[in-house]
Amino acid sequence: MAMTAEKVQSVCESMERIIRASPNEHGYPCDNLQPSPLSQSELATLIFTIEEDDKVSQHLLYMLQETAKLVKEDRREKAMRWLGFVQGALWVAGLSTIEEMKDLNRPDIPD
């Protein structure tokens, strides 16, 4: 079953909380970061470890905001690619496990 727009929004919000709760390279939480996109060349030059660079965290926050918009614009395929990218980044950085990401993506069970 495809994820609903509401479920994608919920997953994006959960991943944003994970990013904001992670410490930056100075040991402080990233809760005050503003979403900000990076160019492809900027992203390619960064070491891909969220804890070492706030810019990567800001880019991931930007991607999460845009993912929710993409679903609302009925651009589901791109939204799912972006969601998978962010989930992979969280896994690479050790901020989440594959199982945790799977659980986030599972349909909600009605009460």
Residue spans per domain, the chain: 5-105
How many whole angstroms separate alpha carbon 66 and alpha carbon 61?
Answer: 9
41 Cα distance to chain centroid:
20
In the chain the first and final C-alpha atoms are separated, in Å, by 19
Residue 81: the pLDDT is 94
In tens, the pLDDT along 5-24 reads: 888 999 999 998 888 887 76
How many whole angstroms separate alpha carbon 22 and alpha carbon 95?
Answer: 7
Residue 92: the pLDDT is 82
Q: Tell me the pLDDT band of 64, cut-offs 50, 70 and 90.
A: very high
Strands (E), 5-104: none
Question: Which residue has better confidence, 54 or 44?
Answer: 54
